[in-house]
Amino acid sequence: QVQFVESGGGPVQPGGSLRLSCAASGLTGRDYAIGWFRQAPGKEHEAVSCSSGFDDSPLYADSVKGRFTISRDNAKNTVYLQMNSLKPEDTANYYCAANLMRRRCVWPPLKYEYSYWGQGTQVTVSS
C-alpha cells in the first residue's frame, strides 16, 4: 500500500523558515515525479514545486521561487521542502503527491495526474 505522510509544519513568524518532509512508503525509486501543493482556506489548490525522477532542475511556482527548495533523499524515500523567508500568504495546508504518469515534471502540474495524496501539514505564518 502506497502512502505519503507530510510533517514539519507549524506556526512561524514572517521571515522565518520551516522544512517540510514527505515520507513515502510502498513506493521506491525515481520513476515518478513528486509534487508539493498547498491549499489555504477558501482558496484553490496551488502547485508549489515539483521534483522530477530525472536529474532535471526542480520547478517552482513564481510565488515561491528563490525562497523554497525541493529536494529528494531516495535512500530515505523522503522529499523535503525547505521554506525560507516565509510570508503570511504562505499560510496553507501543504500536501505532497506522486505523479506515476510522468517521470519528468511539467508546469503547471496537472493535479489529476497525481496520486497518493497525504493528509497534509499545516503551515501558519503570522506575527
Q: How many Å apart are CA 29 and CA 15, to the nearest integer? A: 34
- Tell me the pLDDT of the chain (127 aa) as tens digits: 889 999 999 999 999 999 999 999 887 777 889 999 999 989 999 999 999 988 788 999 999 999 999 999 888 889 999 999 999 999 999 999 999 888 899 999 988 999 888 899 999 999 9
Taking a C-beta distance cutoff of 8 angstroms, is the pair 77, 27 a contact?
yes
The Cα–Cα gap between 55 and 64 comes to: 21
How high is the pLDDT of residue 55?
79
DSSP codes of every residue in 37-98: EEE-TTS--EEEEEE-SSSPPPEE-TTTTTTEEEEEETTTTEEEEEE-S--GGG-EEEEEEE
- Give the DSSP H or E segment for 6: strand 3-7
